């Protein structure tokens, strides 16, 4: 199993190298800070331009194959491999890793409870609508999940903000939740500020997950071994909870792992709408500011999360499904 994991991780390395190189080159070419400065500050002298060139390493090409030591990408790669992610050009030349780590913690405050809520609601809804296929509640759950999939996250987030922040307050004079920013001065305020972002994340993810779980459960319910279980004289409850559930959950574990990784990587739209100081808004502003080191660090963080959880899902798959043995 360890050898398998090691092989899997090794296989992703060339992929990561090519992807980071492409992104690095693209992000580095988004803006030309010197040209911008020339426009915005006609009176600046050459020391300012030299300073800027040094800060962004603009005198070096992204990748120079004839002289790798002179390449910005190779320099970044070397530093990154030694654990140095560089300094930010848009956040006062401070180390990128400090920012990413602080924002990742804030994102986690949303991601962990959101995942727990999402996984349990999706499992309940998906299983219930599979077991009661074509019932009124199945139709209701199905319609709601379609709505959740069809509604853009930012629109739902705006709706929640205007409802709880304005309309509900106008009717009752009471604002039960914060509609913006993280208030971590007390636990109750923290809870009041995570409710709406989590609700936003939940709607979208629950909608897709519950559809997936329903389909997985349906496939299992219609399988021959479930008929065998019924023919044994088991109660329907046991047929579902013992025989069907275990099989239906095997593919779901992968989805959960990937969704959890995605949540931990931060959500650009949700966090931006609710002004949550997580990874998403930092990524967004860094991309616009052409802050290459920051963008690369966040993307690496997200990619490593995705790869790690993907691997975890595969290992879990092998544990849950005896037909699959990982060597």
By CB under 8 A, tell whether 201 contacts another protein.
yes
Judged by beta carbon, residue 54 or residue 288, the one nearer another protein is 288
Residues in contact with 272: Cβ distance below 8 Å, sequence separation at least 6, in sequence order: 280, 281, 284
Distance CA 133, CA 125 (A): 12
By CB under 8 A, tell whether 37 contacts another protein.
no
Q: SS3 for 161?
A: helix
User: How many helices and strands in the chain, by DSSP H and E?
Assistant: 15, 0
Interacting residue with another protein among 4, 8, 9, 23 (CB under 8 A):
23
Distance CA 29, CA 144 (A): 43
Site for another protein in 233-262 (CB under 8 A): 233-235, 243, 246-247, 250-251, 255, 259, 262
Interacting residue with another protein among 51, 105, 132, 227 (CB under 8 A):
227
By CB under 8 A, tell whether 285 contacts another protein.
no
Closest CA to 211 of 133, 114, 146, 134: 146
Interacting residue with another protein among 10, 47, 65, 134 (CB under 8 A):
134
Judged by beta carbon, residue 44 or residue 304, the one nearer another protein is 304
Site for another protein in 50-79 (CB under 8 A): none
By CB under 8 A, tell whether 99 contacts another protein.
no
Closest CA to 197 of 128, 306, 108: 108
Interacting residue with another protein among 295, 297, 309, 313 (CB under 8 A):
295
Of 33-41, 56-64, 75-83, 159-167, the segment contacting another protein by CB under 8 A is: 159-167
Residues in contact with 265: Cβ distance below 8 Å, sequence separation at least 6, in sequence order: 107, 279, 301, 302, 305, 306
Interacting residue with another protein among 190, 215, 311, 315 (CB under 8 A):
215
How many CA atoms lie within 13 Å of 18's alpha carbon, on the beta-carbon side? 4
Exposed/middle/buried for 240, CB within 10 Å: 0-12, 13-18, 19+? buried
Interacting residue with another protein among 37, 63, 124, 287 (CB under 8 A):
287
By CB under 8 A, tell whether 121 contacts another protein.
no
Interacting residue with another protein among 7, 59, 116, 155 (CB under 8 A):
155
Q: How many binding residues for another protein (CB under 8 A)?
A: 82
Closest CA to 206 of 122, 112, 113, 115: 122
């Amino acid at each position: 199993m360890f050898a398998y994991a090691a092989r899997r991780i090794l296989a992703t390395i060339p992929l990561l190298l090519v992807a980071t190189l492409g992104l690095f080159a693209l992000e580095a070419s988004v803006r030309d800070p010197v040209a911008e400065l020339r426009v915005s500050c006609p009176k600046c002298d050459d020391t300012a331009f030299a300073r800027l060139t040094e800060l962004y390493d603009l005198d070096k090409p992204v990748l120079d194959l004839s002289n790798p030591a002179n390449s910005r990408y190779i320099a970044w790669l070397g530093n990154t491999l030694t654990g140095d992610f560089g300094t930010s050009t848009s956040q006062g030349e401070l180390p990128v890793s400090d920012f990413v780590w602080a924002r990742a913690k804030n994102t986690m405050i949303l991601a962990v409870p959101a995942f727990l809520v999402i996984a349990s609601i999706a499992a309940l809804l998906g299983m219930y609508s599979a077991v009661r296929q074509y019932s009124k509640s199945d139709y209701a759950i199905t319609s709601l999940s379609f709505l959740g999939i069809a509604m853009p996250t930012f629109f739902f987030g705006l709706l929640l903000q205007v409802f709880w922040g304005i309309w509900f307050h106008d009717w009752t004079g009471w604002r039960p939740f914060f509609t913006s920013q993280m208030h971590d001065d007390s636990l109750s305020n923290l809870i009041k500020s995570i409710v709406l972002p989590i609700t936003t994340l939940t709607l979208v993810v629950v909608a897709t997950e519950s559809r997936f779980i329903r389909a997985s459960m349906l496939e299992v319910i219609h399988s021959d071994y479930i008929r065998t279980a019924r023919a044994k004289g088991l109660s329907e409850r046991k047929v579902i909870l013992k025989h069907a559930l275990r099989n239906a959950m095997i593919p779901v574990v992968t989805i959960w792992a990937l969704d959890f990784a995605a949540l931990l990587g931060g959500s650009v739209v949700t966090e931006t709408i609710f002004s949550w100081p997580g990874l998403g808004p930092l990524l967004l502003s860094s991309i616009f500011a052409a802050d290459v080191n920051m963008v690369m660090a966040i993307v690496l963080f997200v990619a490593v999360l995705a790869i790690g959880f993907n691997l975890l899902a595969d290992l879990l798959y092998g544990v849950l499904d005896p037909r699959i043995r990982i060597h």
